Amino acid sequence: MVWSEVINLADDSFHPRNADPWWNEASYISFRVPERDLMGLLYFYFRPNQDTAMGGPLIWDPTGRTMNTIAHNGWSWHMGIPEGADMFDFKLENGFGCQTIIAQQEHRYTYESPGCEFELTFTASYPPHYLKLDKQKNDVDAGMFDFVRDVEGEITTGHYEHFGRMNGTLIIEGESIDVRDGVVFRDHTWGPRKILANMHRLRGGYSLGMADDRNAFNTFATCDIPWEDDPLDGVKDKITAGFHVKDGVPATIVSGTRQRINAPDGWPLGEIIDATDELGRTLHAEGRIVSGLDWPGLWGDLAAYWCYERWEWDGNNAVCGELQDWTYARHFRKWLRDKALQSSGQA
C-alpha cells in the first residue's frame, strides 16, 4: 500500500488505478454567503472503471432543507465521463464544470441549468493537508477507513483538504447573488470506495471552521459504540483526524472529542469540540447550525446532514463553518422509535 502524505501537484489529476470497479476519484468544495445563511455544495466523483460520473451543485438557506425544498438541487447520478476529462478539468452533461487555473491553488467552477447558474473561482488560503496513515494499525485513519480502502502494489491512495476563498456570481431564479471572499473548504479523495447499504460504517462527523486566513480547524470524529447501543444523545465521539491553524501555524490534531447536540427530530442543532494538536495547543469550539441539507441515502444506508455552521472559539465569533454528520438510517429509525416510546411512557 502507498498512502499519499506529501503534497504533490499530480494529485489534482486522475491517478493510476487498478481494475477495481469501485475505484473512485471524489472531490467536494463548499462555500458560504453569510448575510443569507446560504451554503453551496459542489460535490462530484468519478468511477473511471465504470465510465461513470456523479455530481452537481446543491444550494440551500434556512427556507428549505430537503432535496425538493432547497434553493437549488443540481445533483445528477450516472452520467458518462466526458472524453478528455480530468479530475478538475471537465464539463458534465448536467451543465456543471471545473477548470484548473493553478493546481491545488486556484480552480474555476461553472454551472448552467434552468433556475441556476454560476461562475465561481476558488483560491486556496493554505497548502493542502494530507490525511495521515495510522502507523499503529498500518491502515487508513479511522476517520476515512470506510470511505477509501488501500490497494496492493505501488498504486497510491489518499485524501487531502484545505481552506480557501470563493469569489464570483451566483444566479438563482433570476436573482444575482455576489459571492465575495466566501469561506471555502475543498478536498480530494482517491482509491477504491465501495458504497452499499449493507456495509458496516462508523457513525461520525466532519466539522470545520475558518475565522480568517490565519485561524481555522477541521476535525474527523467517529463513534466506536455499536450502533444498537449508541444513544446518540450526550455521546462524545472520538476525534481521529484533522488539523488546526492558529496564528498562521498549522498542525495535525492528535486527540479530542466532539459532541453533537440534537433537536427532538434528530436534526443537529450544534456541536461542542475539544481537541489538542501536535504542538500541544488546545481547541475549544462551540457550533450552531443555521441551515442545512437532509440527504438520505448519500452513502448507502447512511442518513447524512450537510450543514452551514457558525462557530465561537478563541474569541472568534459567528465564524463560518460546516458540519457533515452521518448515521445509519436504521440507527436513526431506532432512535426515533425509542424516543416515541419514552414520551408515551412505554419504554
* CA–CA distance, 27 with 29 (Å, rounded to integer): 7
Tens digits of per-residue pLDDT, 324-336?
999 988 999 999 9
148 to each of 13, 88, 158, 242, 253, how far by Cα in Å?
17, 19, 8, 16, 20
Question: What is the average pLDDT across 84-102?
Answer: 98
Q: Is there a shared CATH topology between the 11-194 domain and the 199-346 domain?
A: yes
Per-residue pLDDT at 344: 77
Minimum mean pLDDT range among 87-96, 142-151, 238-247: 142-151
As a whole number, mean pLDDT of residues 146-161 equals 78
Per-residue confidence (pLDDT) for residue 224, from 0 to 100: 86
Q: What is the pLDDT of residue 197?
A: 84
Nearest Cα neighbor of 17 from 187, 149, 143, 131 is 149
Most confident of 75-89, 201-215, 289-303: 75-89
Domain ranges of the chain: 11-194, 199-346
Instruction: DSSP for 31-65, please give it.
Output: EEEGGGTEEEEEEEEEEGGGTEEEEEEEEE-TT--
Assigned CATH class of 199-346? mainly beta
Is residue 44 very low, low, confident or very high in pLDDT (cuts 50, 70, 90)?
very high
pLDDT tens digits for 20-40?
999 999 999 999 999 999 999
Q: Please state, for a pLDDT cut of 90, what percent of the chain lies above it.
A: 78
- CA proximity to 316, closest of 162, 213, 182, 165: 213
| pLDDT given for residue 139 in this prediction | 60
Work out the percent of the chain whose per-residue pLDDT is above 70: 95
142 pLDDT more than 70 = no
> What's the CA gap between 115 and 93, in Å, rounded?
16
Half-sphere exposure of 252 (CA within 13 A, CB side): 13
Long-range contact list for 218-221, CB < 8 A, 24+ apart?
218/129, 218/161, 218/163, 218/185, 218/242, 218/243, 219/253, 219/256, 219/258, 219/273, 219/275, 220/141, 220/142, 220/143, 220/144, 221/143, 221/256, 221/257, 221/258, 221/273
Banded pLDDT at 201 (limits 50, 70, 90):
confident
Domain 11-194, CATH class in plain words: mainly beta
Ordered DSSP codes for 113-146 = ETTEEEEEEEEESSPPEEPPEETTTTEE-TTTTT
